Chains A and B, each alone.
Chain A
């Protein structure tokens, strides 16, 4: 049994984050986003993804990082978590890392108020990747509580 897992790596505010590849459906360039009223601040709106209406959240807003204009590098990472399909806007995303589980450590809980979005820290070829807890980032708990 190999201990290697694949992670899609994306950048938000110059920092690298990773997400287990099994959740990722695909990665899209920016699409026209339609604003939806009465949603949480980090919900950017909905997009038309090949005939399906998909909600999109902005990871900068989610991580409480000031918004900058979307660039050509900006990507929408489409993830499937349980029955939810959601797009996440990242500053860029172009890599997939194979990280050995031995090189993954639990995240030190130092950042107060960051809502524990980062669950683990992975090391890959001298780079550090923050592995996110998708359930927390998407806010699934608060949705299911309703």
Chain B
């Protein structure tokens, strides 16, 4: 059966379920006793399993199936809820999300193998709530050699090597009277060049035998992607003790453990699991069939949920090109009804206008036109509302992020969110995610102090990051506030001067606020120690330019030792802006109002040339003058006579200002931005086009490109 038509529904549904699961998992972590939460996760896992099974996505089905098993026991009180379980459940969530994202972009399940995770879940079942005793748990001290691997497919003797796929090789080796050996080499704690040292070990081994497999993989060892020890499967004709002796003679090796591979180990590991798996699958298919009948009906395809696209990795980016699903908005049916009503009104008014025209009654006509105006305004509002989605969609990934980050950094941090229901345009939602991640990471990494520092400052040990959204007139405000150390202007200034971001002369006139705003200059990053999270040189300037590209602004308030607050202000929608319409010869252009500082007239005589650039002295500042008609290559039928007074529109971009010379002003107007599309490239100074009242097209000038 062709399932492709259900793929989109499956992805939408799964994403919704996963989002829900994420929220519940976070709750569960703080509230391990709540049986309702467990039931809810169980229900979600069950639903996803059913759907995935029907669609034939075995990896997803496998993971959810095992989750279900574990959750079932937990629900029955046979296994207590521990951090181990919650962590594993989070891992399951990540794995499922990975698969769903992959399905969305490529139509295939992700290549990530789910079996280690499945094994982990099975371990939990067997060991009643903990991972198998020999399995290293990430948090443990790295005193014993076994605990240095992160992978957890550990066999009973503590080796992480998976022999199942090389059973044939081993059997053959044994038939030729060679010894397959499992060797674990632990490097000295102070070993500087781990890759080089392990290379020597490999070299030594290869002189008297063959390395069949290593854990971690050879490339990872080369890249030093291991802690202190690694394991190899080695086939040799020499004895185990000789090999052990040889390796132990290499310097900087703290421990060598050699064990011969038993013949029965090969047999059991290579054949048995496969059979087992098949049985599981068969069983599952049966279950799935019965389940799907019970699963509530899928939503109408017309009302689809918007989908995010993963853009972290390069290959995902490539996958994006052949993305299978398109951007959609899930719309409240009430809003559609409202839209429907307004359109019926339009039809009624059309008839009314026709009648009024026929009778020639002037006042009837005027009434009708006025009514038409009211309807179009409401219609416009209604359509805009359809495009609005709650910021919740962006916000709900943050609790998890804060949880993970604070764990990594050893800080105790709570995230308080409010105003998740605030609505913004669909196009904005996609764009604000990254800047917000950046700001929240900054707050956690640089803002909130270590627990000790907080204690010494007399603050609560638990740091707070607040994320708020609220509408404010025609804009939406999003705040990221922390009660951390605040921003130290002196420190900022020091760094800015070191990095040459600011000149000494500039500094003299700067207030503390100006100094803090240096944060937003390119090439500025204050992280003292480079962490995984932030401090990679790309800084707040990226956030600022992103927000500005959305026609928004970002501000920062900070009080030393009390905390800091970043305020993002975004327009409700990107599609409609206030603009100043101007004339250039016969052509009309729109200038976005939020770029315009003021409009003035300038005497032609006051213009002087500095380095081939026309400038005027305006309010004691030199203002570069740009002749818009030259920039836009406006054709004049006849050479315009130079007027003595020129109309100048002063535009700004950050600190930069320039005066644009125009022929005449038409007025302020609300315009709908239309894209010029991809066919017309190269017109960088043109931000788009808009359709005027008379049906003709006017171009929108992007002043940012002129400065």
Contacts and interface: CB of A to CB of B under 8 A. Distances in A.
Interface of A: 32, 34-39, 43, 45-48, 51-55, 83-86, 138, 143, 146
B203 interface: no
A34 B696 contact: yes
Given A34-B587, A37-B632, A83-B678, 12 more contacts: A36-B680, A37-B683, A39-B683, A45-B697, A47-B697, A48-B695, A53-B675, A55-B679, A55-B680, A84-B679, A86-B679, A143-B681
Interface stretch (B46-54, B98-106, B397-405, B684-692): B684-692
A86 B696 CA distance: 17
Contact of A34 (B635, B682, B698): B698
Contacts of A39: 680, 682-683
Interface in B128-145: none
A6 B422 CA distance: 53
Interface string B449-477: 00000000000000000000000000000
Contacts of A138: 679
Contacts of A52: 674
- Which of B631, B676, B697 neighbours the largest number of chain A CB atoms within 10 Å of its CB? B697
Contact of A53 (B676, B678, B684): B676
B689 A53 contact: yes
Q: In which size bucket is the chain B interface?
A: 20 to 34
A11 to B, nearest CB: 24
B674 A143 contact: no
A34 B691 CA distance: 11
Contacts of A51: 691
29 contacts: A36-B676, A36-B680, A36-B686, A36-B699, A37-B631, A37-B632, A37-B634, A37-B685, A38-B684, A38-B685, A38-B686, A39-B680, A46-B680, A46-B699, A47-B697, A48-B695, A53-B675, A53-B689, A53-B691, A55-B676, A55-B679, A83-B678, A84-B677, A84-B679, A85-B677, A85-B679, A143-B678, A143-B679, A146-B681
Contacts of A46: 676, 680, 689, 697, 699
B223 interface: no
A51 B679 CA distance: 17
Interface of B: 587, 631-635, 674-686, 688-689, 691, 695-699
B673 to A, nearest CB: 10
A34 B587 CA distance: 8
A32 B675 CA distance: 18
A34 B698 CA distance: 7
Contacts of B633: 37-38
Nearest to B697: A34
Interface of A is mostly: strand
Given A32-B696, A34-B696, A53 B677 contact: yes
Contacts of B674: 52-53
A85 B675 CA distance: 12
A48 B683 contact: no
A111 B249 CA distance: 80
B218 to A, nearest CB: 40
B683 A36 contact: yes
A37 B633 CA distance: 6
Contacts of B691: 48, 51, 53
Contacts of A55: 676-677, 679-680
Nearest to B682: A38
Candidate in A35, A53, A83 with the most chain B CB atoms within 10 angstroms = A53
B695 A32 contact: yes
Contacts of A36: 676, 680, 683, 686, 699
Contacts of A43: 680
A54 B679 CA distance: 9
Contact of B696 (A38, A48, A83, A143): A48
A69 to B, nearest CB: 15
Contacts of B686: 36-38
> What 6 pairs across the A-B complex have the smallest Cβ distances?
A34-B697, A53-B674, A53-B689, A38-B683, A37-B632, A37-B633
B697 A53 contact: yes
A32 B586 CA distance: 13
A82 to B, nearest CB: 10
A138 B681 CA distance: 13
B176 to A, nearest CB: 58
A33 to B, nearest CB: 8
Nearest to B677: A55
Contacts of A48: 691, 695-697
Contacts of A53: 674-677, 688-689, 691, 697
B239 to A, nearest CB: 64
Nearest to B680: A55
Contacts of B684: 38
B662 to A, nearest CB: 15
Nearest to A57: B679
A110 B243 CA distance: 77
B262 to A, nearest CB: 60
Contacts of A54: 677
Nearest to B694: A32
A60 B91 CA distance: 62
B681 A34 contact: no
A52 to B, nearest CB: 7
A53 B688 CA distance: 9
Of B632, B679, B684, most A-chain CB atoms within 10 Å: B679
A86 B635 CA distance: 24
Contacts of B631: 37
Contacts of A47: 697
A32 B694 CA distance: 10
Nearest to B692: A48
A45 B697 CA distance: 10
